Amino acid sequence: MKHLITILSALMILVPAFAQTADTTSAVVGDKLNFETPNFVAKNYFEEVKAHLSAEGRKYWKPEFSVRGNAMIYYEEVSLTAGIRTSPNKVFGLGLGHGWVTYDANPAQAKQLDFFLYHRHYIPLDRTRRISLYSDVMVGGSYVYNVSGYVIDGEPKVGALKWYLSWQPGVSIRLWGKSNVFFGPSIGPSIGLHLGLAL
């Protein structure tokens, strides 16, 4: 477990660094950003986001949907996401999931609804963009709507709302068109693995 935490901590540092390196290889056409270039950027991240939100940038927005499953310690979840691909490498969106939390000490199981905002950044590993690294950052909440089993010290409690921050890096493999299968570790309130399909 210590080695896993060390590796994941290193990835948290390296993935943003690689993302910045990949973005700085962009092409510029005249005085305008080339929105069709996979790695176009502005001088900094905020200027790039501003470009994505501009009238010119919005012309290149595309929808992206995904379904994913999470298997973590004491926690399982299935979620759906809907987002906007503002560039070939960036996606912003929201998601809704259903999770099951197991309390072995009680024992008890809580069913909850999850809702979150997320940002995905792709880092292509080849020119065809068939294989890419990605980084998902999610912030959201979990609402407990059902509890079965024994309840100790008021936990788990129906109606409880908990906020969380989660990070899911991994590898994406393009199947056909823009669809891709993706998988990797899940790091948040618990640690585990995730597997999904994006369309």
Helix (H) or strand (E) holding 33: strand 32-33
Residue 1's pLDDT band (boundaries 50, 70, 90)? very low
How far from each other are the two terminal CA atoms of the chain, in whole angstroms?
Answer: 33
| pLDDT higher than threshold 60 for residue 182 | yes
Question: What pairing do the DSSP bridges indicate for beta strands 62-72 and 179-187?
Answer: unpaired
How many angstroms separate the CA atoms of 186 and 199, rounded? Answer: 21
Question: pLDDT tens digits, residue range 46-79?
Answer: 777 777 788 888 888 899 999 999 998 888 999 9
Q: Residue 42: phi, psi to the nearest 5?
A: -100, -165
Q: Is 2 exposed, middle or buried (0-12, 13-18, 19+ CB in 10 A)?
A: exposed
Please state the separation of Cα 149 from the chain's center in Å: 32
Domain ranges of the chain: 2-198
| pLDDT higher than threshold 50 for residue 100 | yes
Tell me how long the chain is.
199
The top-level CATH class assigned to 2-198 is: mainly beta
| pLDDT higher than threshold 50 for residue 43 | yes
% pLDDT > 90, the chain = 47
